Amino acid sequence: MSTEVLAASATDVQQASASAPAQSATAEKVNLLGMSRPQMEKFFEDLGEKKFRAGQVMKWIHQFFVTDFAEMTNISGKLREKLEKICEIKAPEVVHKNYSKDGTRKWVFRVGDGEGSLVETVLIPAEDKTGSRKTLCISSQVGCALDCSFCSTGKQGFQRDLTQAEIIGQLWMANYSYMEDVPVIERERSVTNVVMMGMGEPLLNYDAVLNAMRIMLDDFAYGMSKRRVTLSTSGVVPKIDQLAQDIDVALAISLHATNNELRDELVPINKKYPLEQLIAACQRYISKDGNESARKHVTIEYVMLDGVNDHPEHAQQMIKLLKNLPSKINLIPFNPFPHAPYGRSSRNRIISFQKTLSDAGFVCTIRQTRGDDIDAACGQLVGQVADRTRRAEQWKKKVAAQNEIIRSQG
Ligand code: SAH
Ligand code: SF4
């Protein structure tokens, strides 16, 4: 749990809102922030303009973090005026931000109209042999329908999908946060890696997530390396195949159990797409295109739950399960949340699990937890901030009502 979040005052919340780009008064304007290049090219052509304007405007938005058309100096005054009238560049509203001393940055965004809903984004800096990394953990939905038993987002139930603008807006805001005070022409992109590992199941908001990832990879926008954009899924098998057709990005699988009986309990979507189908889909996802592809291996995420999935026999089952799948395994110490039915495996247990897998030839890492535990914040930061606002009670009631509807629908 982040003590800094709890220590922040109500004024911080207001200040954070004030630093977000100006919100437009007219809701009907078209938000250009979330458009991929083909979508924006079509938009300009429909306006009777040349389609190369799309690339120009995208560079202003995603490389120079400009939200005011007047600053787009290579666009004619006439077109700028036209765009001003019908378009806007609007990131989601920041209701809380927390920049910690270790370089970690967290934002809670309000999405949707009126009171809206809250989603979070976390930026984690790291140094490694390839240099400095800044990894942004992006949310794709408000809540999640898949109800994994160890996940606080799942406990909220599904509220709604994020729009393309709300997804890419998280990356925009994270980059902008380093450039606010820098003159436009000197601005640079700071975020080096994206993981779709925030709130929600990205493959259940497929089109918006796909287009947002296209913007991430586009040289007219963020120009990120495909190996540095990772989509994490709990295993929506048909969508894994579709993803392989549509884009080349890295894939992470939330495995968490090595037999169907246990996985049915921990990751209920396993009842629909059991392990055999999931592993086969991962094998199909692996590209034959050699080193250039982001699809040389999949990352296997495995949350370590005390006494549940951390026995030596589970490690042995994993070795068998993954023997024909090029994979890297990441063991995640469980992050507890209020009323969670699990505890975190002991350090010794995690290390011996790792050793069994390493001895069998797998690359197996343990996700670092920090003093101000980043993963603990995932899905919980929203709850903490909501508790601190005057609207906390209404918010809780709304979530409870929505969850009730989802439960009654089975
Ligand atoms: N829905 C997608 C992406 C979001 S979850 C998925 O499930 O892959 C991102 C990662 O955090 C997943 O591997 C998820 O299983 C893990 N996670 C969720 N709750 C956790 C918790 N309490 N402790 C540790 N990891 C957790
Ligand atoms: Fe949804 Fe992922 Fe949480 Fe499962 S782990 S409930 S799929 S967000």
Domain-embedded: residue 400: no
Q: Is the pLDDT of residue 3 over 50?
A: no
- The residue whose CA has the least distance to atom 6 of ligand 2 is 154
% pLDDT > 70, the chain: 83
Which of 27, 61, 88 lies at the terminal end of a domain, its last residue?
88
Indicate if ligand 1 lies below 6 Å from the C-beta of 270.
no
The tens digit of pLDDT for each residue in 243-257 reads 999 999 999 999 999
In the structure, what pLDDT confidence band is assigned to residue 404 with cuts at 50, 70 and 90?
low
Task: Name the residue range of residue 66's domain.
Answer: 3-88
Is it the case that residue 369 has pLDDT exceeding 90? no
Mean pLDDT throughout 70-97? 96
Q: Is residue 398 part of a domain?
A: no
Which of 150, 231, 240, 278 to mutate to test ligand 1, by most ligand atoms within 8 A of the CB atom? 150
The yes-or-no verdict on residue 73 having pLDDT over 80 is: yes
- Poorest-confidence range of 119-123, 185-189, 309-313, 374-378? 374-378
Residue 401 inside a domain? The answer is no
Average pLDDT over residues 101-114: 90
Given a cut of 50, whether residue 135 has pLDDT beyond it is: yes
Average the pLDDT over 199-216 and give the result: 98
**Does residue 84 sit in the same domain as residue 203?**
no
Look at the chain and report how many structural domains it folds into: 2
Residues 71 and 122 reside in one and the same domain: no
Residue 408 within any structural domain of the chain: no
pLDDT at 388 exceeding the cut of 70:
no
Q: Is 146 in the pocket of ligand 2 (CB under 6 A)?
A: yes
CB contact at 8 A, 378 and 122: yes
At 380 the pLDDT is 53
Q: Is residue 346 part of a domain?
A: yes
- Do 295 and 373 belong together in one domain? yes
Do strands 250-254 and 298-304 pair parallel, antiparallel, or not at all (unpaired)?
parallel
With bands split at pLDDT 50, 70 and 90, how would you rate the model's confidence at 358?
very high
Q: What is the pLDDT of residue 370?
A: 52
- 128 shares a domain with 9: no
Q: Is 200 in the pocket of ligand 2 (CB under 6 A)?
A: yes
Q: What is the pLDDT of residue 397?
A: 55
Domain finish residue from 60, 88, 116: 88
Average pLDDT over residues 334-339: 90
Helix (H, G, I), strand (E, B) or coil at 377: helix
Can you tell me whether residue 365 is helix, strand or coil?
strand
- Are residues 308 and 235 both part of a single domain? yes
Distance 267 CA to ligand 2 centre (A): 8
Question: 183 in a domain, yes or no?
Answer: yes
Q: Are 242 and 314 within one domain?
A: yes
Q: Looking at ligand 1, which residue's alpha carbon is closest to its atom 12?
A: 254
Mean pLDDT of 130-152: 94
Shared-domain flag, residues 147 and 255: yes
Instruction: Decide if pLDDT at 20 tops 50.
Output: no
Average pLDDT over residues 395-409: 52
Which CA distances in Å does 293 have to 34, 223, 288, 297?
A: 26, 16, 8, 10
Q: What is the mean pLDDT of the chain?
A: 87
Of residues 228 and 388, the one with the higher pLDDT is: 228
Atom of ligand 1 nearest to the CA of 144: 1
Whether the Cβ atoms of residue 65 and residue 175 lie closer than 8 Å to each other: yes
Identify the weakest region by mean pLDDT among 110-119, 151-160, 355-364. 110-119
Are both 226 and 367 inside the same structural domain?
A: yes
Shared-domain flag, residues 41 and 165: no
- In the prediction, which pLDDT does 177 show? 97
Report whether residue 36 contacts ligand 2, using a CB cutoff of 6 Å: no
Identify the pLDDT of residue 130: 74
Return the ligand 1 atom nearest residue 196 CA.
Answer: 3
Q: Which two tokens stand for residue 116?
A: 């809206």
Q: What is the CATH number of the domain that holds 350?
A: 3.20.20.70
**Residue 378 bears catalytic tag:** yes
Q: Which atom of ligand 2 is nearest to the CA of 152?
A: 3
Of 88, 107, 126, the residue that ends a domain is 88
Radius of gyration of the chain (CA): 22
Q: Which ligand 2 atom is the nearest neighbour of the CA of 199?
A: 8
Which CATH number is 29's domain given? 1.10.150.530
Nearest protein Cα to ligand 2, atom 2: 201
Q: Choose, from 41, 93, 120, 166, the residue flagged as catalytic.
A: 120
Using the predicted structure, report yes or no on whether residue 87 has a pLDDT greater than 60.
yes
Identify whether 403 is part of a domain. Answer: no
- Identify the weakest region by mean pLDDT among 97-101, 278-282, 352-356: 97-101
pLDDT tens for 176-186 read: 999 999 999 99
Give domain status of residue 394, yes or no. Answer: no
Residue 389 has pLDDT above 90, yes or no: no
Q: What is the pTM of this model?
A: 0.87
Shared-domain flag, residues 174 and 27: no
Burial class (CB in 10 A: 0-12, 13-18, 19+), 222: buried
Residues 111 and 82 in one domain: no
Pairing type for strands 117-128 and 105-111 reads antiparallel
Q: 81 and 103: one domain? A: no
